[in-house]
């Protein structure tokens, strides 16, 4: 440990995706603990699912890593807007619940008698019985059902060997309060972990789960690695723009960071190559509240960017840990 100074240990931790805070003994212990755990075997093919958490704005990508072709292949790249439909008791079919207030027999009326009394006023749509809308809810039962369906029917169909989940925070940007929507996303995150752990324990899915802090992903790509892990202070919106611009530059210049799959992946890549027109602060929701902001969700690329950078960063971190384990810390300190 004495052969490395504090700056060098921070750089090693930075390149391995670890926290860079603490004294020399703390940093060295953190690095040593990470390098002595069971390493990810990169000599075998890997399918990495990277998830950027959200309910209205979840995004994920699947990266295929072939040891004979070191550049990851982006196999899937999508964003989702989940709907939290309430869980209805299986003892009472949903159709019966919806018909209960509209069907005359359910209200104790004689259908034939009602036909005889029918007049022209019944054609008025305002007088017609309205089918109640199923309200979206965010109780644990409904969110658990949604999370399970999402995993079994979408995210696990490609049998990922590793799942990388963005770690959520209760507060962001030093906010004083914890918002209800933040709690909902955090609940969904916990439920996803619970479902995945259950599927692991039952042998349904045999992959592994890793949690990544978003505060380590952005600096890894945006900083010169020799500068450390702190970004200059700037508005959060500027930080998002820089990450989107980074991926856009990769795609425009023919990056060697990744290869693109076909179909939907190519469609997403094309959205990066069409630069959106500059919008006013009001249309961005940064000034006064605007009720006329009809910008379609698909034009926003920050969530797709985050899940891609997260997955690619995890791959680089695992490669660096593997190199450090085999060749020593100097191998990643002076690559």
- Give residue 86's pLDDT: 64
Q: What is the pLDDT, as a whole number, of residue 101?
A: 42
Q: What percent of the chain has pLDDT over 90?
A: 48
pLDDT per position as a tens digit, 295-304: 444 457 999 9
Q: What are phi and psi of 16, to 5 degrees?
A: -105, 5
- Of the candidates 315, 322, 317, the residue with the CA atom closest to the CA atom of residue 65: 315
Q: What is the pLDDT of residues 271-288, one digit of tens each?
A: 999 876 665 555 444 444
For residue 51, is pLDDT > 60? yes
Distance from the Cα of residue 166 to its chain's centroid: 6
User: Per-residue pLDDT tens for 210-237?
Assistant: 999 998 999 999 986 555 445 555 556 6
Q: What whole-number distance in Å separates Cα of residue 87 and Cα of residue 144?
A: 9
Mean pLDDT, residues 42-55 taken together: 91
Q: Which two tokens stand for residue 77?
A: 């790249």
For residue range 188-212, list pLDDT tens digits in order.
999 999 999 999 999 999 999 999 9
Beta carbons of 285 and 189 less than 8 angstroms apart: no
Residue owning tokens 């500068």? 227
SS3 210: strand
**What domains lie within the chain, and their CATH numbers?**
6-85+134-276+297-333 (3.30.420.10)
Distance CA 269, CA 103 (A): 50
Burial 283-318 (b: 16+ CB within 10 A, else e): eeeeeeeeeeeeeeeeebbbbbbbbbbbbbbbbbbb
Question: What is the rounded CA–CA span in Å between residue 103 and residue 100?
Answer: 6
- The pTM score is 0.77
pLDDT at 155: 94
Exposure b/e, 240-249, CB count within 10 A at least 16 = b:
beebbebbbe
Q: How far is CA 104 from the centre of its chain?
A: 47
- pLDDT greater than 90 at residue 132: no
Structure tokens of 230? 């702190």
pLDDT(289) > 80: no
Q: Give the per-residue pLDDT at 226.
A: 52
Instruction: Describe the chain by its helix, strand, coil percentages, rounded to 5.
Output: 45, 10, 40
- For the cut 60, the answer to whether the pLDDT of residue 324 exceeds it is yes
Q: How confident is the model at residue 25 (pLDDT cuts 50, 70, 90)?
A: very high
Average pLDDT of the chain is 79
For residue 88, the model assigns a pLDDT of 55
* pLDDT at residue 288 in the model: 42
Query: Tokens 């029918």 identify what position?
Result: 118
Q: Which residues of 126-136 are buried (b: 16+ CB within 10 A; e: fewer)?
A: eeeeeeeeeee
Percent of the chain with pLDDT over 70: 69
């Amino acid at each position: 440990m004495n052969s490395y100074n504090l700056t060098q240990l921070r750089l090693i931790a930075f390149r391995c995706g670890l926290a860079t805070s603490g004294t020399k003994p703390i940093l060295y212990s953190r690095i040593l603990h990470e390098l002595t755990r069971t390493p990810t075997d990169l000599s075998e093919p890997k399918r990495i699912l990277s998830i950027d958490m959200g309910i209205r704005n979840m995004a994920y990508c699947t990266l295929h890593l072939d040891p004979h072709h070191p550049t990851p292949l982006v196999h899937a790249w999508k964003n989702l807007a989940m709907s939290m439909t309430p869980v209805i008791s299986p003892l009472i079919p949903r159709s019966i619940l919806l018909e209960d207030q509209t069907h005359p027999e359910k209200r104790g009326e004689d259908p034939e008698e009602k036909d005889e009394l029918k007049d022209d006023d019944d054609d008025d749509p305002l007088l017609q019985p309205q089918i109640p809308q199923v309200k979206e809810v965010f109780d644990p039962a409904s969110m658990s059902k949604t999370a399970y369906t999402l995993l079994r029917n979408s995210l696990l169909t490609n049998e990922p060997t590793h799942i990388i989940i963005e770690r959520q925070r209760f507060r962001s940007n030093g906010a004083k309060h914890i918002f209800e929507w933040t709690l909902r996303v955090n609940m969904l995150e916990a439920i996803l972990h619970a479902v995945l752990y259950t599927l692991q324990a039952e042998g349904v899915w045999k992959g592994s789960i890793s949690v990544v802090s978003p505060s380590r992903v952005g600096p890894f790509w945006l900083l010169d690695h020799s500068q450390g892990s702190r970004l200059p202070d700037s508005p959060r919106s500027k930080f998002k723009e820089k990450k989107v611009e980074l991926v856009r530059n990769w795609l425009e210049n023919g990056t060697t960071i990744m290869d693109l799959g076909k179909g939907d992946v190519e469609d997403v890549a094309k959205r990066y190559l069409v630069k959106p027109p500059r919008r006013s602060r009001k249309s961005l929701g940064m000034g006064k509240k605007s009720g006329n902001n009809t910008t379609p969700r698909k034009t926003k690329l920050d969530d797709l960017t985050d899940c891609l950078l997260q997955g690619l960063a995890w791959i680089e971190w695992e490669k660096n840990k593997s190199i450090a384990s085999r060749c020593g810390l100097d191998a990643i300190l002076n690559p």
